[in-house]
Amino acid sequence: MRTTAAAQESGAKPTPARAKIRWGVVRRFLGHLRPYRRQVILGLSLIPVSVTFAVLFPWMIMHIIDNQLVPMQSEGLLFWCLALAGVLLGNFLADAVFNFSLQCAAQYAIRDIRAEMFNRVLHFPRRYFDKTPMGVTLTRLTSDLEAISESFTQGLLSMIRDVLITVALLVFLLFISWQLTLVLLLIGPLIYYITEILRRRLRDTYLRARVVLSQGTGYLQECLSGIKTVQLYNAEAAVQQRYAGYTEGFREAQSKSNLYDSALYSIIEGITTVSMGLIIWYGSKEILAATISLGVLVGFINTLDKIFVPIRDFTSQMASIQRAFAAFDHIEEIYDEETEHESSDGAQYLSAAQRGQLDTFASLEFIDVRFRYNADGPWVLKGVSFCLNKGSKIALVGSTGSGKSTILRLLTKTYVNYEGSIKLNGIELSRIPKAEVGKFFSLMQQEVFLFNESIAFN
């Protein structure tokens, strides 16, 4: 059973560098929204409606208190109450359509990205699968994409609207009472400073969790693929201990991120309560001094609560957003990897005469071939030479790891960075396109893999 380098030590904890947002894959996601721009435009067009309703509600409350309740004026009260109910209903409908349309567009985009990533993986060169555990790739295609889907459909898109609503409400607060607004703005830097510190810690812990999860998934896939070998050598206890190390590492990273998430939400909630107390205390003094009216204070408190709701929501959404950006880092690796169509195998233009030499197989010759998988790794092949002519047979015999499979990988151009010379019909193998080489070689694996499909498919 193949074992990854990351799984050599039980419970080894990854030490990733500080995560950086990979804006390339973010732009790629936004590009996938383009075919569904109608839904996006519909959702974004409702933002001004939501902003208008958000400002109208506290203004109407202020008007009702100062012009209807305080002077005990019942005329027109029913109209204003019905208008207030209409604003609430309109705000509800605008928010519902906004969320539904943008979530539909985001889900379609995630579907397209999933199909695109799977298509890229299908065309990865075989050397990618030699160095990358299947479980790691599986994590990229499943849980990492789900993290992005959760964030964009529940967090980031709604934040655009919430930011605009918050700005509009702050302008409204300045309009009705700049003194109370200045008291509120004094705590703004504190909120920003605390949020920024905990945001960075959340991002690092989520990146660590994604790394451990991918390593654990990779090791799990290897163990299940090689379950016969594990049972044959009675290695269940050792395998279980090593896998327990990965699950414990993931638990530690998740617990730390939950701690930061809870601390952030609790701190913002505490600041909200203190701010409310300060505004009520200061506003009450202003009412007694006849500087502001009761309606202004009630409208200000109502607006203040609406401002802090997006802030509290932002802290609760911070977890999913940071999880998504950590997943962006991993998904970008899929796009960074070259497919067989994109990578160059060193092939050169062949003349008509040379192409004629490749019509049928004539000879294959290895001349002092040397090869190693890594530039600083050990030599797998050292001075291999042999000649195979048409009609003859050759057998490569040796112990495990002696280089038999490596020779086949060189023949099929899975790897091309060899030293020495490999000639097919007298033409250097590195000059021949991989598609042409594939006409001469077929490979029968020792172990047959059967798909869960029909006999005809297999």
- pLDDT for 24-82, tens place per residue? 666 777 788 888 888 888 888 888 888 888 888 888 888 888 787 877 777 878 888 89
Tell me: pLDDT of 266 over 70: yes
pLDDT for res 4: 39
State whether residue 390 is helix, strand or coil.
coil
Q: What are phi and psi of 367, to 5 degrees?
A: -125, 105
Backbone conformation region of residue 127, classed left if phi is above 0, alpha if psi is from -120 to 50, else beta: alpha
> Across residues 395-399, what is the average pLDDT?
86
Q: What is the DSSP string of 255-301?
A: HHHHHHHHHHHHHHHHHHHHHHHHHHHHHHHHHHTTSS-HHHHHHHH
Q: Select from 321, 194, 196, 204 the least CA-distant residue to 253.
A: 204
Mean pLDDT, the chain, integer: 78
The Cα 221–Cα 136 span in angstroms is 9
Cβ neighbours of residue 54 closer than 8 Å, sequence gap 6 or more:
91, 165, 168, 169, 306
Provide the pLDDT confidence category of residue 11 given band limits of 50, 70 and 90. very low
What are the pLDDT digits (tens) for 429-444?
888 887 777 778 777 7
Q: What is the mean pLDDT of residues 353-362?
A: 78
